[in-house]
Amino acid sequence: MAIDYGRLLAWPVPEIRQAYSVRDSQLYALAVGLGADPTDTRQLPFVYEQSPQALPTQAVVLGYPGFWMKDPGTGVDWVRLVHAEQGLTLHQPLPASGEVIGRTRVIGINDKGPGKGAIVYSRRTLHDATSDALIATLDSSTFCRGDGGCGGSDAPPMTLTATPERAPDAVCALPTLPQQALLYRLCGDFNPLHADPAVARAAGFDRPILHGLCTFAVAGHALLREACGYDPARLTSMQARFSAPVYPGETLRTEIWREADDVAFRTWAVERDIVVLSHGRAGIKPA
C-alpha cells in the first residue's frame, strides 16, 4: 500500500493522556546522558529527588502516541522512514511530575516525487490534563524515503536557518553510551530500528542507530549547560535538522553561537567528524 495524501492528512492519531513521575523525569535525564559526571552538582536536580526538575527536551516524549506510522493503513514504508527535523516550543516550564494530554495531527505532506520520497509534517501539542493549559508545541518532519509520488506540496512548519560562518562562542562535548539507544527507548520510543540489528540492516544501517530525539536532547543538554547555567526555565525553544545518524557510543560535540535574538548551534559526531544536527536555533531567556 502507498501513501494516500488525503487519508494520511486526516489520519486519526490517538489523543494520549499520560501521568509521569519524578522517577520518569530522572529516567529520561539519565537516558540522555545527565549524571555522566557524578561530581557536577548542577546536574543533580535532574537525576536526584531533592528539588527535582525536568529537562526542557523531556516534552518530546510526553503525550507521545507511539509509532503510529507503522500502522499498515497509513501506507508508509515505515522501515525506511527517518526523522528529518524537530522543533520544540515551551509555553511554560515543564514540571518534574504531572499529568498531560498529547494531541497529534498531520499538518502537511511534501511529495518529492516517485523514487524520491515524501516529507510528512506533524504537530503535537502538550496540555496540562487538569487545566488544559498549553505546555509545549512540538513540530516534526519525517522523511519517508520509500513513499514518493503520493501528492502534496505543503510548506514546512519550521523555517530553519544556516549556521553562522564565524567561530563558535562555546563548544560542549558530551559522550554517549554504547547502550544509549536501549536506555532511551525506555522513555517511550520503541522503534525497533534503535534496538534490533536486523531491522537496522533492512533500513540500510550496519547496526542500530541512536534516536534522533536523543541526539536532540544531548544538544539540549549542551545548550542548558553553556547558555542557560543549568536553569531549565531559560530554554524556551529549540529546533534543528537531523543531518546524519548517530551511533550509540559516539561523542557529540555541540558548537554554539550567541546571536542577537537567539542562539545558533550545530552538533558533530566527533569520531566520524560529521555533522549530525544542523540549522539549530534555540530561544534563551535572559538570566
Catalytic residue check, 194: yes
Q: Which of 83, 194, 211, 279 is catalytic?
A: 194
Whether residue 234 contacts residue 284, with contact meaning beta carbons closer than 8 Å, is answered with yes
- What is the per-residue burial (b if ≥16 Cβ within 10 Å, else e) of 252-261? bbbbbbeeee
Write down the residue that cell numbers 535525564 correspond to: 29
Helix H, strand E, coil C: the string for 168-235 is CCEEEEEECCCCHHHHHHHHCCCCHHHCCHHHHHHCCCCCCCCCHHHHHHHHHHHHHHHHCCCCHHHE
Whether residue 158 contacts residue 139, with contact meaning beta carbons closer than 8 Å, is answered with yes
Q: Which of 24, 139, 189, 262 is catalytic?
A: 189
Instruction: Please give the backbone phi and psi of residue 70, each rounded to the nearest 5 degrees, phi first.
Output: -75, -15
Q: Is 27 helix (H, G, I), strand (E, B) or coil?
A: helix
List residues with catalytic annotation.
189, 194
